[in-house]
Amino acid sequence: MKKNILVVEDEARLIEIVTDYLEDAGFNVIQARDGKKALEEFESNDIDLVILDIMLPELDGWTVCRRIRKKSGVPIIMLTAREEEDDKLMGFELGADEYVTKPYSPKVLVARVKTLIKRIAAEPVKDENIIAFPGLEVNVKSYVVKVEGAKVDMTPKEFDLLIFLLDNRGIVLTRESILNKVWGYDFFGELRVVDSHIKKLRKKLGSRADYIKTVVKVGYKFEVE
């Protein structure tokens, strides 16, 4: 079954180029040229990934990203003509998974789409599928997290962060090590993006938020007492 990609871009020529490349790669493309239409299409279709421009009519990309994240953990790639670090940090704090600066190669964009889709769909190479603690269950095969028996929606980055903490439970992890492992060595954002995602992760863990311990002036560790 083809994956549905929602492309949100107000530049007519650019959205057609991106659509052509994605369709050639085997994806089904749904277009939106303003923020309001993007949310309507997201609600009306089973979307597997969103490519989202920041500068849009009606509603900007920040607003669209924020509203999507309230309902879904679908992968989001944000597009912008600006290279300012604060813009990238804003995108990641809102829950974006990738950030592409214009001008960009459509082939590279498609490659990033494939990588994100593959990461979500692929089965993680692990001996056990479920990691369980009192009140917390994580299925690393189906990417399902349950807190007190209730399913909790997480973004791909939040899930990666949780798995990294679980894989190193009992070990103090510096912000630098978390940033490098979860975001990659080529990510040049500030360390506070880690703190921001830890805060969001704790909120979603609810009654089990205390499993993530803060180690003052160092970083974090996952520990079940």
Task: Give me the residue spans of the domains in the chain.
Answer: 4-121, 130-222
The residue-averaged pLDDT of 146-161 equals 91
The residue-averaged pLDDT of 163-188 equals 85
How far is it, in rounded angstroms, from Cα 110 to Cα 221? 35
Residue listed under structure tokens 């299925």: 139
Strands 136-139 and 144-147, how do they pair? antiparallel
Taking 80 as the threshold, does the pLDDT of residue 66 lie above it? yes
Nearest Cα to Cα of residue 95 among 61, 120, 118? 61
The pLDDT value recorded for residue 140 is 85
Does the structural domain 130-222 have CATH classification 1.20.120.160? no
Binning pLDDT at 50, 70 and 90, where does residue 128 land?
A: low
How far is it, in rounded angstroms, from Cα 149 to Cα 160? 21
Distance of CA 45 to the CA centre of its chain: 19
| Strongest mean pLDDT among 43-52, 80-89, 185-194 | 43-52
What integer best gives the mean pLDDT of the chain?
86
How far is it, in rounded angstroms, from Cα 142 to Cα 160? 13
Q: What percent of the chain has pLDDT over 70?
A: 88
The pLDDT value recorded for residue 92 is 67
The pLDDT value recorded for residue 149 is 87
Range with lowest mean pLDDT among 27-31, 178-182, 195-199: 178-182
Q: What is the CATH number of domain 4-121?
A: 3.40.50.2300
How far is it, in rounded angstroms, from Cα 172 to Cα 192? 17
